[in-house]
Structure formats: C-alpha cells, structure tokens
Structure 1
Amino acid sequence: MLETPLASLHRELGGKMVPFAGYLMPVQYPAGILAEHLATRAGAALFDVSHMGQAELVGEGAAAALERLTPADIQILKPGRQKYGLLTTESGGILDDFMVANLGEGRLFLVVNASRKQVDLPAIEAVLPAGVRLNRLEDRALLAFQGPQAVPLLATLAPGVAALPFMGVARLEIAGIPVLVSRSGYTGEDGVEISVPAERAEALAKALLALPGAVPAGLGARDSLRLEAGLCLYGNDIDETTSPVEAALVWTIGKRRRMAWDFPGAGRVREELDNGPRRLRIGLLPEGRQPARAHTAIALAGETVGEVTSGTFGPSLNGPCAMGYVARPHAADGTALELMVRGKALPARVAATPFVPHRYAR
C-alpha cells in the first residue's frame, strides 16, 4: 500500500489507517466520524486528500486539447478560475470526474481521483498535440481545509485567501510555505484545497491544526459530508456505465459543446437529452434510523426498480440518506419506494439533493 506525505502525522494523531484506492488513509481519529463531521459543519476540519492525482497541462492549446476528452467548456475558463468537469468515454460513460484550474500562461492544473489517475493521465497524454505536455505532480500533497471557519482562520496566516471567490485559485504563502490554493472542496461547506510540495506538507498541516478549533478529519467524515451535500463518489455513484444525463450532471456540459457535439460519447448524451435516459440518479430519505448501504435494491410493489449507490447515516440530518438510480418513471421527488435492507422492505421517499444546503462562498 502507498502512503501520503502525512502518514506519520496521521499515526501521531491516532488516525485509524485503512486501505483506500491503493493507499493507507485515516478513516477516522479518536474523536470519531460523528464528531469530525459536525466539526466540519460548525468550524474547520483538515482532510488529507494527497492520494488524488495532481498534474499540469502546459503549452499553447492545452484547453482545446483537454476538450478532446471532456464535454466541459475549458476554453472559456479564465486565469485564476477553476471548474468541475467529467472525462467521458466514446460510449458515453464517465471515465472520471475532475477539477481543472487555469493558472494563466498556458498552464492548466488538474486534480483527478486516486482510483482513476492511472487511467486518466495516460488517456489525456494520448490526445495531446505537439507543443502541449502533461506534467505529473507526484511530488506534491493536497490538503482540504473545510468548514465555515476554515477561511477566516486561514486568513490569519495568509490574508489573501479571504479575497478568493468560490472556485477561485491563487498562488499564496501560508506560514512561509508557497502553495496553490483553490476555494473549493467536496463537503458542501466553504473552504479551500491546498496543493503543497510534499516535503512541506506536514509543516503546513501542523500549522493549520494549530489554529483555534481546527481538527483533523478522515475518510469517514469526508464521505458522510459529501453524501449529505449530494455529491457523487466515483466508483459508487458514477462510472464508465453511467452517462452525464443519468447522473444529473448535464450542467457540466458547456453550451458551446452542446452545439458542436464534438466530445466523446456525444451521441449517447444527445439521444438521452432528446428522449430521456432509461434511469436517473436520485436522492433517497429512508424512514427510521437504519441506513441503506450501496447495492441495496430499490423496489416498488415488490418489483426491483433500481439500486442504492451510496448510503449512510447523516449526522447533520440526524437520520439516514442515500443516493441511487431508479427507472425514470419512479424518479420524481416525493415518490414512495422501498429499500430492501436485510430482507426487509424499508420505506423511503425520493428527495431532492443536496440533503443539507451547500454553504459555498458566494
């Protein structure tokens, strides 16, 4: 198993290490997942996301080159701005979801999923024209500092961070350490993600955890936070069999791209937009306290109509929540369904996501 540059610090802090995407990562610390989740919602929590893949595309025409693999409009992305997008397959599935930032001067900064970086980066390299190159940034760590107090606290060390808008990106110094900061994250809360040289990552993490009220948080809280926020996890809620239309991610497809239909899988996407997909991603609120986990069958009148892809107990909701896919006729908000948990039918209803409102900086 691989380890991130913060592995020693995780153990020092009492992190419970588990395998995830080929890495040993902390699933929780002694305070527990519930406390870490609620601390993120109320204050500030630090997550290690260094297992993610970081890279730069460099050269004139980098944005146009990347558009060969994504329906996102990369060419309209202004310097200092970042966006979320999908890499798609020729059959209309989702190869991965990713973040891309325009650093100016023909440089794009990419963050891809840990479980997919060995697929994504070669796929990107394969479509690059002469003059554009992909630089893997394997010597960098990535930290997510999330919660309503994250930016105010961080601004005591780096005042410039407070001026960053949502999805803004800037090169800054934090406690004397040069970093790349984006005002983004995957918790539904305000916060930042910080790309830092690997050899300075532990010093940066300690500086952030020394801020008043800041706590470390692991994979468990990150998962419950993103699910309450209605955000997809690659490999659970989206994969190569899922289309952007089925996944309710049509908003990631640029208007210009919908006119040109020149991205991988455009035929399937266009057909599903015109005629409707066979299934749709939905939110689910089960009755009672018992969560329905991934692969739980979704039924109606005894007939299976879909499957749960992510499910947990939502600490902020004080109840269970889930996402999954159902046949399109059963996807309307409020639809009564049943979740087959341990052989019993658990009542649930289709619900709009996010389950907990996003609180990004606006």
Structure 2
Amino acid sequence: MSDEILDIEDTHPDDMPEEQVLPLDAWHRAQGARMVEFAGYQMPIQYAGPYGGIVAEHEWTRNSASLFDVSHMGQLSLEGEGAAEALEALLPGDISALKPGKMRYSLLLDENGGILDDLIVTNTGHGLGIVVNGAVKWDDIAHLHEHLPDNITLTHHADQALVALQGPKAGEVLEAIIPGTGALTFMTAGAFEWKGAFVWVSRAGYTGEDGFEVSIGAEQVEAFADALVADDRVQPAGLGARDSLRLEAGLPLYGHDLDVNTDPVSAGLLFALTKSRRETGGWMGHETCARMLADGAPTKRVGLKVEGRMPAREGALVFSGDTEIGRVTSGGFSPTLGYPIAMAYVMADYAKPGTALQIEVRNKRLDAAVVPMPFVPQNYYRGE
C-alpha cells in the first residue's frame, strides 16, 4: 500500500473533519445514486435506473455481481519486529499463525471484554494489514497507537480507495480484468497489478456471497469502477442492499449488533476467540470472556423469523408473554425469503431455536420465532 497521509501520532478523532468525501463521490452521483450521510461521508444508499433500488440491487447481487464502495473503512498496516505478537495483546485471535496471504476475522476489545470494533487482519507477507469500520476508525487508530509498542509502525493508508465486487459472477468478472485473482479462495489475499497500478485483492466481503475487496489508489479507482460496470454482469449497489444482504447472511454490523456494551460470547462470535488463546489468555478483555465461557453469557444474539409482512426495526422490544426479554438490533424485510427477519439480543433462557416470542412494533405485538443463522446460506468460494 502507499505511504501514510496522516500523522498517526498527531491525529485524534475530535480533529477529524465532520464530513469527508469519497474518491468515487462524483462517480456515484453520475450513476444516479441517492446519497446519505454515513460514517462521516456522503455515501450511496441506492441508485436510479432499471437495476436500481434496494430490492433490485439485492437480487442482482444474489444472481450476478454488484459493485459496492467501502472506501469509508479504515485501511491500516503494522510493520516491525514482533508486530503479530504485539497485536495479539489486543485481539483474541491467533495472528502469529497466519501465513502470508491469509486473513482472519477478529475483534478489538477493551479491558472489560467490550467490543470496540470488529475487523479483518491479513498477513501481507511483509507486515499485517488491518481493515476497520469507518465509523470508529479514528478511535481504533488512537487505541492501537496507545497500546502498541513504540517499535511497531502503524500506517493509515488514507489515499487508498476500497471497493467490493460481490456476487456469484464476481470471480469470473474480476479474473477477466485482473488475471490471477480467480485463484484466490475465501479469506485469502494477494498483490496484483491493474494497468500499471498496484492493487491488493482480498477474497472476502460482507454480503454472504462470493466476492472480493480491492484496495486501489484513489486516483485510479474511478477508471477501475468504470471498467467493472462496463461488464454487463456488474451493476453498482448501495448501502441499502449491502445491509439487507449482510442481515440475511447473519452478519452483525458494528454500531448496531456490536458495540462496547456487547461481548464476543453474547454476540455468538466464539470462532473469533481462537481456542488455544481462550486458555492461555494474554489479550485485553480475556478475564471477562473466560468467565462468560465458563458460566454462560446472560444474553445471546439470535435470529428471529417474524410473522406477517411488517418488519421489526432496531430498538424494538422483544417479549415472552408479558416479560420483556430482549431488544432487536437489526431487522428488515428479506427479499430472498419473502418475510421479515431480525437479529436480537435476548435472555439466554429464550435463545433456543424454535422458541416463540413477540416483538413490539408500533404498539402491536408481532409473533416471531428464534431461528438459526444465517437466514440465507452463505456462498463463499473455498476452492474446487
């Protein structure tokens, strides 16, 4: 990746501009995007045209390939002797075991086991790459800088754009544009070249479909986006479709299903707590998580199938009879399934699949049932 633009030491979240501009801002508007404020940026929520609209973009992603702009996310790197071990003091994942080109989902935790962010760590071959959520990236940078040793160089690649190509045809589309990318499998990454420009390609995403995230210089990203949508199999898609897709895939969204008041055990993210490290500890928040693993968490994140057509949105209360037992954190109508679905945190005694519950929406009680997640099977490419 390219050199850092911001001085990490002198950067504080309060110093950041209230609203920043995406490298593809003008491109989105020319494509007919309806822009909304999100994570300090104006971002496309949906597009106009015959393939535009949240449901149409959702279905296009399920059947072909969609281009999403995720440049609001933070692209960081760590370099220096012992970088993996230093990061392991803050994350519960086994980072040292990552081989070059391999990726791992992990969690940035505070001392009480609260989730500061969820993120992806990659062994780039010459250091560690980290992608963090846009809404909290400045807080993440400050936290990392505070807790990492002085010999570790933390770089924010603010001049890199990040776009996601998602859908069952994404592999063949990207292979035609960047030869060699089709050989990547889920949660692997590598360096490639496109028209003389360096690109870092990861076979990952947050839609539940096969796909890629491509890091490319801000000055090249518009031409790259044009090259992708020139393929008839590709259409641009916005935040609305990305949200409905990740909900169907059972993927939690930071700031909604995850925050500093939630923990990995309650959130059902045990896979992010590498088994060997659960026992050895040595990472921030271990004591709280170990206690919950031993005694059980008082609440659990569950999937809910909602009866009828009215969706239950974030904040709706969940009941068992007259007893309030939880709260919805994400919800909406599933275009793929044809009925409303939701995620909620409920008391652990009510988390078993098949449990009948009710959700209060507009002073009405909607019948719902706990169901396993993902709601729609994930279609990641893991190789032939």
* Superposition TM-score tier, normalisation by shorter sequence: over 0.9
> 1:65 offset after TM fit, Å?
1.0
1:110-129 superposed matches below 5 A? 110-129=130-149
Structure 1 contact 52–114 (Cα < 8 Å) conserved: yes
Superposed CA offset, 1:252-291 (max 9, x none): 0112211211111111111111111110000001001110
Q: In structure 1, what is the equivalent of residue 288 of structure 2?
A: 268
Matched AA of 1:172: F
Q: Distance in 1 between matches of 2:194 and 2:171?
A: 12
SS where residue 135 of structure 2 aligns? coil
Q: Confirm or deny that 1:2 pairs with 2:20.
A: yes
SS where residue 232 of structure 2 aligns? coil
Q: Distance in 2 between matches of 1:261 and 1:169?
A: 28
SS where residue 84 of structure 1 aligns? strand
Q: In structure 2, what is the equivalent of residue 349 of structure 1?
A: 369
Of 232, 248, 251, the residue aligned with 2:271 is: 251
SS where residue 192 of structure 2 aligns? strand
Q: Distance in 1 between matches of 2:122 and 2:374?
A: 25
Structure 1 contact 175–207 (Cα < 8 Å) conserved: no
Matched AA of 1:226: R
Structure 1 contact 177–204 (Cα < 8 Å) conserved: no
Question: Which deviates further from its counterpart, 128-137 or 219-228?
Answer: 128-137
Q: In structure 2, what is the equivalent of residue 21 of structure 1?
A: 39
> 1:174 offset after TM fit, Å?
3.1
Count of matched residue positions in the alignment of Structure 1 and Structure 2: 361
> 1:129 offset after TM fit, Å?
1.9
Q: Distance in 1 between matches of 2:174 and 2:310?
A: 37
> 1:323 offset after TM fit, Å?
0.1
Q: In structure 1, what is the equivalent of residue 90 of structure 2?
A: 69
Q: Confirm or deny that 1:314 pairs with 2:334.
A: yes
Of 71, 91, 116, the residue aligned with 1:95 is: 116
> 1:175 offset after TM fit, Å?
4.5
Q: Using structure 1 for the length normalisation, give the TM-score.
A: 0.98
Superposed CA offset, 1:315-350 (max 9, x none): 111111100100000000010000001001100000
Percent of aligned positions that are identical: 50
Q: In structure 1, what is the equivalent of residue 105 of structure 2?
A: 84
SS where residue 10 of structure 1 aligns? helix
SS where residue 152 of structure 1 aligns? helix
> 1:176 offset after TM fit, Å?
4.2
Q: Distance in 2 between matches of 1:177 and 1:216?
A: 22
Q: Confirm or deny that 1:47 pairs with 2:65.
A: no
Superposed CA offset, 1:233-253 (max 9, x none): 001001001010000001101
> 1:302 offset after TM fit, Å?
1.5
Structure 2 contact 173–233 (Cα < 8 Å) conserved: no
Structure 2 contact 301–344 (Cα < 8 Å) conserved: yes
> 1:17 offset after TM fit, Å?
0.4
Q: Distance in 2 between matches of 1:64 and 1:256?
A: 14
Q: Distance in 1 between matches of 2:123 and 2:133?
A: 19
| Structure 2 stretches lacking a partner, 5+ long | 1-18
1:275-290 superposed matches below 5 A? 275-290=295-310
Q: Distance in 1 between matches of 2:243 and 2:70?
A: 12
SS where residue 166 of structure 1 aligns? coil
Superposed CA offset, 1:74-99 (max 9, x none): 10111011111000110111010001
Matched AA of 1:296: A
> 1:125 offset after TM fit, Å?
1.3
Q: Distance in 1 between matches of 2:93 and 2:153?
A: 20
| Structure 1 stretches lacking a partner, 5+ long | none
Structure 1 contact 339–345 (Cα < 8 Å) conserved: yes
Q: Distance in 2 between matches of 1:108 and 1:90?
A: 23
Structure 2 contact 67–166 (Cα < 8 Å) conserved: yes
Q: In structure 2, what is the equivalent of residue 155 of structure 1?
A: 175
Q: In structure 2, what is the equivalent of residue 325 of structure 1?
A: 345
Structure 1 contact 98–111 (Cα < 8 Å) conserved: yes
Q: Using structure 2 for the length normalisation, give the TM-score.
A: 0.93
SS where residue 96 of structure 1 aligns? strand
Structure 2 contact 209–380 (Cα < 8 Å) conserved: yes
SS where residue 159 of structure 1 aligns? coil
Q: Confirm or deny that 1:294 pairs with 2:314.
A: yes
Q: Confirm or deny that 1:223 pairs with 2:223.
A: no
Of 46, 56, 59, the residue aligned with 1:35 is: 56
Structure 1 contact 67–263 (Cα < 8 Å) conserved: yes
SS where residue 176 of structure 2 aligns? coil
